[in-house]
Structure formats: C-alpha cells, structure tokens
Amino acid sequence: MQFKKQIILFLCLCSFAVKSQNTYKRWPDVIRKNDAAWFASAEAKKIADNVLLYQRDIGGWPKNIQMQEELTEKQKEDLIALKKTAVETTTDNGATCQEMLFMSRMYAQVKDERYAASFLKGLNYLLEAQYDNGGWPQFYPLKKGYYTHITYNDDSMVNILNVIKNVAEETDYYSIKPSKEIVEKCKKAFDKGVDCILKTQYKQNGILTAWCAQHDEITLQPANARAFELASLSGYESAKIVLLLMAIDKPSPEIVTAVKSAVAWFEKTKITNLEEKRVLNDAGKIIDKKMIPTQNAAPLWARFMDLESNEPFFCDRDGIKKKSIAEIGSERRNGYSWYTDAPKEALKKFPDWAVKNGTKVGAAEKKNVNFITVAQDGSGDFTKIQDAVYATPAFPYEKVTIYVKNGIYNEKVRIPEWNNNVILKGESKENTIITFDDNFSKIGLGRNSTFYTYTVLIEGDDCSVSNLTIKNASGDRGQAIALSVVANRVKVSNCNLLGNQDTLYLSGKEAKQYFKDCYIEGTTDFIFGGATVLFENCIIHSIKSSYITAASTPEGTAFGFVFKNCKITSNPEASQVYLGRPWRIYAKTVYIECELGKQIKPEGWENWSKPEAEKNSFYAEYNCKGEGSQTNKRVNWSHQLTKKEAVQYSIENILKDKITNWYFL
C-alpha cells in the first residue's frame, strides 16, 4: 500500500500544473545554456536544488521532468519521500546523463560539494546498471517488460557511453574528477559497451548492417518494444552509434569493419525521392504529416526498416506493418518521428575518418567503395554498370555491392577475375534489365566467337547476381550468350535469363555455381558448359523444339548440371524437346523432383552422334512428375535414381568447394 501511494505521488509530480514560473520551456535547453557564468547565478542554484531533490538515492533520475519549474513545499516533501524508492529511474529520453551534465556545469562555477557528490552518484548508477554483456536496460532497477532490453532507443546507451568515455579518458568535459579507481571502472565499462555494440550489429544474409532500437538482453537479437515499435533496423539510432565508434581513438579492426559496414548500409537505404511536409494549426502544432514525392530531395532514412529487405515500414498501436505513414492513424502519424536525417553527419565524417584509419577510401575519394549505386537518371554514383565495375576495388576483403536501379541498360558488362566478392543486385527483376545483341555472326572472330557474345560475363569468384533481367536481344540468329559465368562460388537468384541458342554458359576450373528462383529461356543448348551447377526452384523454358542442356562435364567430376524442384516448360510450338545432349562425352545432367511438361520427348536424351557418350555420360532423373516424366521410353543408357542415390544430391555435396569447404545455404 505504501509503495502504491508513492507511485501516485510520483505521477502527480510528473503531471502537475503548478503555479510555477516557466522561465524556460524545456529542461534540456537549460542544461545546455551557452552562458557558463549563468550557472553561478541564484536562479541556477535554485534549479540545482530541484535537481538534487529529483535524484533518487540510487543515483538516477526520472525522465521527462521540467526541473526548472518552481516546486511547492508539498512537492518538495513528496520528492524527499520518493528518494529511497528508486521509482522510475532511467536513462531514457536523456534522463540521468543530462542531469549529470547540469551538475558538472554547476560545479564548474560553484564549488558546492553537493553537486560533485550528485554527479558521482549518477556515475555509480550508470556503472551499476550495466549488464555483464556490456549493454544497458532502459530502466534500472529493472522494470518488467521490454524495458529490460538493451536499449539504443533515443540514443540511451550512446549517451551513457559518452559520459563514461569522457570519464575514462579523463577529459575536461566534466568538471568533477573521479578517483583513479572509478576511472578504471569506466574504462572497463566502456570497452564492454563497445563489445556489446559490435555483437549486436545485425547481419543480413551474412553482411553487417546496422542496429535495432532495442536488442534482447540475453540473445542480443533485435527485439520489439511498444506495439508500434517492432524489431527492425533503425535509421535513427544507428547514426549515433556510428558516430560513437568513429570517435574512438585507434579503433580495432572490428570497429573499423563495423563503421564501414554501417556506412554502406546508410548509403544503401537512403531515400532521395521523398520530402516531409508538416501541416500546422494556428498555434503551431503539427496536425498532419505527409510524405511528398520529390526529385533529388535531401537524403532521409526511415526510423524502422525491415530486418531482411530494408523496406521502410510504419505501425499504429495495433502493431500491424504498413508501407507508408499515410496508412496509419493521425495520432501515431503526427506524434512520432518516422523519418530522420541523422545518418548524414556520419556520412559526412566518414571519408576523413576512413583515411585516418587506413581504410581503402582515398583522401580525395568521397564515395563508399563497398556500396555503389547505378542509376540512369543520374541519382546514383554511375549511369552505366560497367563504370561501376571499373570503380570496384581489386580483390576486396569485403563484399562490394553494385546496386542497379530500375532501367534498361544497353551494355555489355564484364566482372573480371580481380573483381571478386561483387554483389550485382537490381532494384527489381522485372524492371532492371541488362541487354545487348551480340551473336556469333556479328562478333565474327572465328570458331570461338560464341564466347564473346555475352551480355554479362562473370569471371570473379564469390560473386552473386540477383533481382534483375539479363538478356541477349539478338533473337534467333545463332549462338548468343546472355549470361556467361566462368568463376567459382557464384550465386544467381531471382533473375530472368533471356535468349535463344546458348543463353547460359557455365564454366570455370572445378567451378561450383548455384541458380535459385530464376527463369531461364532459350532454344538449342541454352544451358551449356562444364561447371558443377545446382538449379533450384527455377523455371526452364524452351522457346522451340530443341535441346535444353549441353553439358561438357570434365571426366571424374562427381556432379554436373543438377535440376531440383524445377519446372520445365515451353512455348506451344516447342513440342519436341530433349532434356539434354552431351557437348562432351563425360556430360552429367540430373533432374530431381522436377515437373516435366508434355513437350519432353519420351526418349528424354540424345547422344549428339557420339556413341561413346552413351557409355561415359550420366543422364538421370528421380521422382519427377508431369506429362513429360514418363520413363518407360527413355533411352536405355539413361538412369532412374534410387532414393538412396538421390540423397547424395544434397546442396552440401553438390556445391562444397575442395579448398574452402564452401557451399551456398
């Protein structure tokens, strides 16, 4: 009962409408007054007495209190009664850290030891509140619910670490100088806090990105807070985290990587086609917010971005994700900051920081080399994809993303061997199109002209391509490659590969490659080469009657072309289609649990006038379905796998690399 009464007293204090003098509108404005001498005034001393009253014995302060407002005698008595309770002590919304700054500024002018003791008590509170893993909760002592999460929200943990950093480094920022013992505690606390930051940086498909507003205090994973604050990547909170890391002298390689990765994410997620418009009433209060489409707008970032797609989202108090603020109610739309420009400060400081800390960003180079944007309208770093490739570092230690915005790019693109670790990613599969029209006759370089006809050529290992269309637009004019992959550990996902004869060439010494969720179309031998390749969940479409595959698998290779869970389709006029024929006599091609259309010939396979291929090649199927899956008329030199044999065709077995033990997951 007594505790309940204390809570009621506290709430009354937070909401009272006193007969007080509102000399200043906001408490933080008082703390940061430019006139240092003011802190020696009688007015400042009177406010300082209030601040001392609000501080609990545990050392912390409650939040959202206008401490400059005059207190009645009754209110002072109530605050004295609350001191021992530790009710609502927090670091949220700047609480405790800002009061400590006020006390420091007071002590710098007036050597009242109460101010120094208050500061040190606040510092001890911060040290006591830290988790063993280095993070801080929103409230301490711990308050049930999401308040126990490690809290970056509203810069809470960054504010704490900035206090502790100044104490640990014994700077002159604070006028109170703690003992050497406390300084050492602060050094350890700061290092633990930074370690927590590094461990909570979110990995998206294996790539470091940014941070959530709050992370689970046990698992360190992104966590929900209020109903409209779902786990997400934060465009706001991440900015101050990066600035804190950039302020560390002689950063470790892990800190450098964290900063570079976050900056790359900022570049990737910035919004330059929207502008916020605020509608105000006569009293100057916001009554509506609207996002207006605007060309070349100043960069903005969403406060909440999807953990996997980076797509901005917005929530009302029902916790349901929406795609725009227009879809949520006015109370949340107008009462919350959904967009921010906070990362621009980090982006501005990054180039000089990068040079100072020995990264690959040159002194005169202001672009982030880990994320390059291509856009035909000039809004990116380049208007041509090949120019972006030229700007990519040779043999980079980290992945380099070339993000291609929607448009039709009429060019040949080559990613050479020294540009490994490249991610070529389109804005959308349907509207990001790379096209060219070279063919065998047009190239005219002799019998090997086919290999020069590519629209896109990938020679760099460990590259990936996604979300775009690659097309050879020469039509049915002989050999004409759309995509040529002559590299190891290459992944192509969610792409359209369009052509006629020889659409897709796959090669490279002992190369392993992976195609997932792709649409691949062509005519004769439109998937050919000697690489080991797994096609998963793809649509393989024949334009006319001919051959789908022409493998040239090297002798002794365990796997060649493997199609799993693919759909084999065709144009109506393509009624006589072979699953494959051997370009070289040790060809291997297997279809597992695929849907084969009626266009597949009953024989299934053809020997390309190479009788020896019937003995040396390996063509097989397992558990396929559809009108073309009838096996009773297959050529007698092809195979139907047993269940035990089919088990060997796992992604791990097919794609494991001999040197790195690498495979796509």
Give the model's pLDDT for residue 397: 78
Q: Which of 282, 377, 525, 657 is catalytic?
A: 525
- Which SS3 state, helix, strand or coil, does residue 24 take? coil
Helix 2-15 vs helix 73-82: crossing angle, to nearest 10:
130
Whole-model pTM: value is: 0.55
- Which SS3 state, helix, strand or coil, does residue 222 take? strand
CA torsion through residues 353, 357, 360, 365, sign: positive
Residue of 605, 607, 606, 603 lying closest to 630 (CA atoms): 603
Alpha helices in 32-96 (DSSP H): 42-54, 73-82
CATH number of 1-179: 1.50.10.20
The answer to whether the beta carbons of residues 165 and 157 sit under 8 Å apart is no
Q: How far apart are the first and last CA of the chain?
A: 58
Q: Which of 334-348, 353-367, 573-587, 592-606 has the lowest mean pLDDT?
A: 353-367
Segment 310-332 mean pLDDT: 92
Q: How confident is the model at residue 233 (pLDDT cuts 50, 70, 90)?
A: very high
Give the model's pLDDT for residue 348: 87
Q: For residues 386 and 372, give the distance between their C-alpha atoms in angstroms, rounded to a whole number.
A: 12
Active site residue 502: yes
Output the six-digit token pair for 265.
């994410």
Q: 72-106 in b/e burial notation, b at 16+ Cβ within 10 A?
A: eeebeebbeebeebbbbbbbbbbbbbbbbbbbbbb
Q: How much is the mean pLDDT over the chain?
A: 91
Give the model's pLDDT for residue 368: 54
Give the model's pLDDT for residue 663: 52
Angle at 405 between CA 400 and CA 411, to 5 degrees: 85
Segment 494-498 mean pLDDT: 98
Residue of 221, 211, 98 lying closest to 163 (CA atoms): 98
Give the model's pLDDT for residue 423: 95
- What percent of the chain is modeled with pLDDT above 90? 77
Give the model's pLDDT for residue 364: 33
Segment 639-651 mean pLDDT: 95
Q: For residue 589, what are the CA distances in angstroms to 22, 581, 585, 592?
A: 81, 9, 12, 10
Q: How confident is the model at residue 13 (pLDDT cuts 50, 70, 90)?
A: very low
**Amino acid at the residue 87:** V
Q: How confident is the model at residue 25 (pLDDT cuts 50, 70, 90)?
A: confident
Residue of 527, 511, 625, 543 lying closest to 579 (CA atoms): 527
pLDDT tens for each residue of 472-488: 999 999 999 999 999 99
Q: How confident is the model at residue 4 (pLDDT cuts 50, 70, 90)?
A: very low
623: pLDDT strictly greater than 50: yes
Give the model's pLDDT for residue 391: 87
Domain covering 201-365, topology: Glycosyltransferase (1.50.10)
Cβ within 8 Å of residue 406, ≥6 positions away:
426, 427, 428, 431, 432
Segment 618-644 mean pLDDT: 96
Partners of 516 in beta bridges: 493, 536
22: pLDDT strictly greater than 60: no
- What percent of the chain is modeled with pLDDT above 70? 93
Helix (H) or strand (E) holding 171: none
Numbered ranges of CATH 2.160.20.10 in the chain: 366-655
Q: How confident is the model at residue 658 (pLDDT cuts 50, 70, 90)?
A: low
Q: For residue 264, what are the CA distances in angstroms to 152, 369, 386, 514?
A: 20, 8, 20, 26
Instruction: Establish whether the linkage from the previous residue to 253 is cis, with ω within 30° of 0.
Output: no
Q: For residues 547 and 281, give the distance between their C-alpha atoms in angstroms, rounded to a whole number.
A: 70
Pick left, alpha or beta for residue 388 (phi over 0 → left; psi -120 to 50 → alpha; otherwise beta): alpha
Q: How confident is the model at residue 2 (pLDDT cuts 50, 70, 90)?
A: very low
362: pLDDT strictly greater than 70: no
Segment 124-141 mean pLDDT: 97
**Amino acid at the residue 603:** E
In the block, tokens 């006015």 appear at 330
The answer to whether the beta carbons of residues 526 and 505 sit under 8 Å apart is no
Q: Report helix, strand and coil shares of the chain as percent, to nearest 5.
A: 30, 20, 50
pLDDT tens for each residue of 93-125: 999 999 999 999 999 999 999 999 999 999 999
Helix (H) or strand (E) holding 460: none
The answer to whether the beta carbons of residues 343 and 266 sit under 8 Å apart is yes
Q: For residues 44 and 31, give the distance between their C-alpha atoms in angstroms, rounded to a whole number.
A: 10
Q: Which of 42-56, 228-242, 260-274, 289-303 has the lowest mean pLDDT?
A: 289-303
pLDDT tens for each residue of 148-158: 999 999 999 99
Numbered ranges of CATH 1.50.10.20 in the chain: 1-179, 201-365
Q: For residues 519 and 538, give the distance between their C-alpha atoms in angstroms, rounded to a whole number.
A: 6
Active site residue 318: no
Q: Which of 216, 502, 517, 657 is catalytic?
A: 502
Give the model's pLDDT for residue 274: 87
pLDDT tens for each residue of 413-467: 999 998 999 999 999 999 999 999 999 999 988 999 999 999 999 999 999 999 9
Segment 511-527 mean pLDDT: 97
Cβ within 8 Å of residue 505, ≥6 positions away:
450, 451, 454, 481, 483, 484, 485, 486, 528, 529
Q: For residue 152, what are the CA distances in angstroms to 11, 125, 210, 526?
A: 25, 18, 12, 52
pLDDT tens for each residue of 534-583: 999 999 999 999 999 999 999 999 999 999 999 999 999 999 999 999 99
The answer to whether the beta carbons of residues 478 and 505 sit under 8 Å apart is no
CA torsion through residues 296, 298, 302, 305, sign: positive
**CA–centroid distance for 550 within its chain:** 39
In the block, tokens 């290779």 appear at 557
Give the model's pLDDT for residue 24: 63
Domain 366-655, CATH 2.120.10.30 — does that match? no
9: pLDDT strictly greater than 50: no
- The β-bridge relationship of strands 618-622 and 639-640 is parallel
Q: How confident is the model at residue 294 (pLDDT cuts 50, 70, 90)?
A: confident
In the block, tokens 């090997």 appear at 448
